[in-house]
Amino acid sequence: MTPHNNANLGDIAENVLMPGDPLRAKYIAENFLTDYKLVNTVRNMFAYTGNYKGKKLTVFSSGMGMPSMGIYSYELFKFYNVKNIIRIGTCGAYSPKLNLLDTILVDNSFTIGNFAKALNNDDCHLVHSSNKINNKIQEVGISLGYNFKKIEPINSQETINNNNNNNSIYLGNTVCSEVFDYYADDFEKFISVFPKDLNIIAAEMEAFALFYTAKYFNRDASCLLSVVDSRFRNQEISAQDRETSLNNMIKIALETAIQLD
């Protein structure tokens, strides 16, 4: 046990799915796992271990932000012998080519923050997700009828896409922010410091900490995201929808997790 986790050694599987929201972890356990049990309740950061298609899996909530993700992923890798973590989260779109509830597979996560400096005295601000897991996600996704598309920078001749393509998963780089970007006083100034060559397509708040911690322990981590808001649209989905309507992303993550070494 740790100060943040009251699971016993052996209660947590080698392969873990990590939503941010504890209620999403509960939703996944109740709707997708069999013979599941609640293995962590500290700070109501729920974790459930059960079976998916006969394979042992854990769904462990991370909470919001890099500090919270950093704590839980560090402890899972170091103390609970976890090998692979797939974050399944939500994001805001930075590309007009993305629609609400589109799915993103993260390639690189960029941050202007100092998570790596604080953990490991490493002046690192860009970290890659696991090639092993990303390749498996693409293999699984294709078998389920999805295609994977790289989002290129928009040019002045293109128009905003208003048609959801539920069969596509978009590959791209994301920013991992220390603040909820909608609260930034000057959004354009906020995004102006991001390297232009990265073509950042979305923002979230946990992936950099997960990827860097996995790298630190020589383990593997990836991130699937569903778009739940966009600066290009006067639309958003409710908190309840964020909890329950992300099943496509969840299913791909589950199918991937049971095939990982």
Q: Are strands 147-150 and 126-128 parallel, antiparallel or unpaired?
A: unpaired
The first and second tokens of residue 92, run together, are 């805001």
For residue 29, give the H/E element and its range: helix 22-32
Report the interhelical angle of 131-143 vs 247-257 (nearest 10°): 120
Residue 229 appears among annotated catalytic residues = yes
Task: Choose the catalytic residue: 11, 229, 241, 261.
Answer: 229
For residue 108, give the H/E element and its range: strand 103-110
Q: Which residues, 6 or more positions from 81, have their beta carbon under 8 angstroms from its beta carbon?
A: 9, 14
Integer Rg of the chain from CA = 17
How far apart CA 24 and CA 219 sit, in angstroms, is 24
Q: What is the DSSP letter of 83?
A: -
For residue 209, give the H/E element and its range: helix 207-216
Q: Catalytic amino acids? A: 229
